[in-house]
Amino acid sequence: MTLRLTGPEATEDLALRLAPALRAGDVLLLDGPIGAGKTHFARALIGALQRAAGTPPEEVPSPSYTLVQEYAAGPLPIWHADLYRLGDPSELPELGLEAAFGRALVLVEWPDRLGAPPPQALTLRLAHATGDEDARLLTLIPAGARGVELAQVALG
């Protein structure tokens, strides 16, 4: 399932469409090269969730250096992880991601560094579109029944 996102606004629209369907225990794996829009999508999604919950939107920096940032949208805990600097999956327990799976909405950039992904997740693979620096190609890769449900929401 591949969509063409014509620019940053289309990425934000995707986040707005997906936000109402998300809940604790959901995992979104944000895959793609540097500059593909992973963090832009995460910022738009976290902002949409916070606004919908009546929580003042926070600044959402890239967690490249902290590896994990925690947010809340009302009662929904949100974990945003960037595993780019992770050296080995054996370092994952120190981050506490295992505990977050199941009790928070978890967004993971560079999910290939997880080793085995969670069994109920939706991968959003972003790629630069040829010939248009603002456009992205988004491939949705669902895992498990919940991943399929979320992919259907994303497709609209």
DSSP secondary structure string for all residues of the chain: -EEEE-SHHHHHHHHHHHGGG--TT-EEEEE-STTSSHHHHHHHHHHHHHHHHTPPPPP---TTTTSEEEEEETTEEEEEEE-TT---GGGHHHHTHHHHBTTBEEEEESGGGGSSPPSSEEEEEEEEPTT-TT-EEEEEEEEHHHHHHHHHHHH-
pLDDT at site 93: 81
Domain membership of residue 145 as a residue range: 2-155
pLDDT tens digits, the chain, 156 residues: what are they? Answer: 899 999 999 999 999 999 999 999 999 999 999 999 999 999 999 999 999 999 888 888 776 667 899 999 999 999 999 998 887 777 878 888 888 988 999 999 999 988 788 889 999 999 999 889 899 999 999 999 999 999 999 998
pLDDT at site 25: 95
pLDDT at site 62: 73
pLDDT at site 108: 95
pLDDT at site 63: 64
Q: Say how many domains are in the chain.
A: 1
Distance of CA 7 to the CA centre of its chain: 17
CATH of the domain at 28: 3.40.50.300
Q: For 131, left (φ over 0), alpha (ψ -120 to 50), or beta?
A: left
